[in-house]
Structure 1
């Protein structure tokens, strides 16, 4: 399912226009993104938790030259599925 299909599904399920569904989805994505930028987590009970993790600095290898390179530490978004979502999938 892509974003367009998700918007269509939201519009049909909530009995709203596709434009309203698109605005709602964009607002949710924006809220999650803003929270993660501020190092906050977002918990949707039953669905899951979005959080920010730290990836440590490490050394890697350039596949073309074989040269050892240093990879900087980075913040990465993480998602941990909630119980209801896990149960629905299984």
Structure 2
């Protein structure tokens, strides 16, 4: 089971007393701030919930799954997400 964005908006709106419109604006703003921060190399930490940081991946050798030919995968950036203590406790139950 997964929670899509509209279900998330409804759940947060009902718990917070905000309207669905205001809740969606807040989620959209959070998403923009998260993306902008990570793109600029700044880590984002929501204490107890999660931390996200941009990590650099070195150039490496891989294989084309169809042909088996070796290919060079260029250096790039990725995102590392780490669960916080509250999140870890919630899923351990």
Q: Unmatched 5+ residue regions in structure 1?
A: none
TM-score, normalized by length of structure 2? Answer: 0.91
CA RMSD in angstroms comes to 0.9
C-alpha distance in 2 between matches for 1:36 and 1:89: 26
- SS class of match (2:42): coil
Question: What residue number does 2:12 align with?
Answer: 10
Moved beyond 6 Å, runs of 4+: none
Question: What residue number does 2:29 align with?
Answer: 27
TM-score, normalized by length of structure 1? Answer: 0.94
Aligned length, in residue pairs? 90
2:38 is the alignment partner of 1:36:
yes
